[in-house]
Chains A and B, each alone.
Chain A
Amino acid sequence: MEKYPYTEKKDTRSGFGDGLTELGRENENVVALCADLTGSLKMNDFENENPDRFFQVGIAEANMIGIAAGMTIGGKIPFTGTFANFSTSRVYDQIRQSVAYSGKNVKICASHAGLTLGEDGATHQVLEDIGMMKMLPGMTVINPCDYNQTKAATKAIADHNGPVYLRFGRPKVPVFMNKEFVIGEAIMLNEGTDVTIFATGHLVWEAIQAGEQLEAKGISAEIINIHTIKPLDAKAVLESANKTKCVVTAEEHMRNGGLGDSIAQVISANNPMPIEYVAVNDSFGESGTPDQLMEKYGLNAEAIVAAAEKAVARKA
């Protein structure tokens, strides 16, 4: 197993905040909007450095999305910031019509996605956002895995012309990613032969831990980071799956509509094989610590190991 040593833990939202701050210095067309969650989204530095390019819209997310769409007319590159639930399900029609259908260059940046939001519970723990956003024609959907990748993605999407959904989270997780981020290109984290684990977001670190546990059990896991769920790197998916002949997908999202669905579509259309899903199965979340929730809902390394063993067993 390739080693991914880390020296610190940081939240992915800080990667967004720091990336945005750098963008503020480098690209005068970048503007930022926030719906009363500036601190939670780590947008304070951008606001302080660029008060004329920061727009506080208050608790009015629909209006925020519309204003962002309008700001592109005249060349601005708006980054909207609020929690993932309020970035998607609350404003889906605004995104659909004013952003996606209108082809506007808006970057919808969403923190506190998934169960790792923790104690606030299900009202805030959106687990359907990837599915909703990937269904919109022309929308790019990115779910980075750590501080480094979130910062890199934040900067990369400013140079991408078109609407983007960027999804990140609240908890402090290991900062381990040392590989280049390119929109739409899967990242090989470990080459293996028995099973491929496709992981996104916070589950990437868990997949690496799972790979080590599987190695100890004599199973060679190929681990691939899919940070861009749409457009999916289908070539990388098929190359690996055709080699290992079975697949596990891992994501902090509903099983319906998530990364697993996207992978399964590609594989079923080209080379059907066993697929196991590590995801939330048709359920809302609840209050608890992030670790407790990830264990209860089966979204950790142990769950990935079990899924991999099952997938390998189904190959025969």
Chain B
Amino acid sequence: MPTIVELENTASQVRRDIVRMVNGVMSGHPGGSLGCADYLVALYFEVMNHNASDFNMDGTNEDLFFLSNGHISPVFYSVLARSGYFNVAELATFRKLNTRLQGHPTTHEGLEGIRIASGSLGQGLSVAIGAAETKKLNNDKGIIFTLHGDGEIQEGQIWEAAMYAAHNKIDNLISVIDYNHKQIDGDISDVLNLGDINAKWQAFGWDVMEMNGNNMTEVITKLNEAKTHLGKGKPVMIIMKTEMGQGVDYMMGTHKWHGNAPNDEQLADALSQLEETLGDY
């Protein structure tokens, strides 16, 4: 079991990977990736029961994670590589021709750890529910985890899935919304306000929790607590408050770095703020 400090160190390395990956190809989405690094590190290095060295699509008896907001692929790829799904050297191929690390995650290139393509938003919750239903049919005790952007839940399919999960008591599912209040065109409150997001999910019949997604101790505590909410007839939703761009000062507090890569000078600035703990790829 890694300590909190070890997990934080891993998250620091993941954040270095993120900014280096997007700088290396001058494209990609660093803002949300940085904000969600702590959650994904917590999942893959502590919370989930999973088999990184021998990936298979069915994931029988494993916990499974589905990334619905596929544009934050840099954090997903880094965490998969750092946890042993594939060689970290492959991170250098991100978004380049013939890469398995496509701009948005895909099963199409056979990259270990990916179980569904995502990028077109709003689809991942339905897919996760399907995987959860199959686990129930197979009497498989694995847990399904997801991640969604807050802007993403403007998509109607999310609410179709929300209704289904409550009605059908999908209680082997822990969904997480990255609530950083920002989307491409600006603040969510300006683009299309989500209103009382907590009350909305409660009204849809979910067991709703909140957590600070940029505090490793709290992330671990809350995810473990969420697990104790399973098996009680309700799907679990965690509203995860994060800071877009977390860990790189000039990327925080703005939506500007949602889908823009830092140049070499900006990269150096970012790396100076993120300790190299596991060795750069």
Contacts and interface: CB of A to CB of B under 8 A. Distances in A.
Interface of A: 31, 52-53, 55, 57-58, 60, 62-76, 78, 93-94, 96-98, 101-104
Contact of A70 (B106, B116, B122, B138): B116
B20 interface: no
Nearest to B110: A103
B127 A67 contact: yes
Interface residues of B, number: 40
B64 A73 contact: yes
Contacts of B207: none
B130 A102 contact: no
Contacts of B157: 60, 62-63, 66, 94
Secondary structure of the A side of the interface?
A: helix
B134 A70 contact: yes
Given A73-B115, A73-B134, A98-B117, 5 more contacts: A31-B137, A58-B163, A66-B125, A69-B127, A98-B126
Given A94-B123, A97-B117, A102-B108, A75 B164 contact: no
Contacts of A103: 107-108
Interface of B: 57-60, 64, 66, 106-108, 115-120, 122-135, 137-138, 140, 156-157, 160-161, 163-164, 167-168
A92 to B, nearest CB: 11
Contact of B156 (A62, A69, A74): A62
B130 A68 contact: yes
A121 B18 CA distance: 52
Nearest to A91: B157
| Residue of B59, B107, B120, B126 contacting most chain A CB atoms (<10 Å) | B126
B119 A70 contact: no
A102 to B, nearest CB: 5
Contacts of B161: 60, 63, 66-67
Given A73-B64, A75-B138, A98 B133 contact: no
Contact of B131 (A63, A64, A70): A70
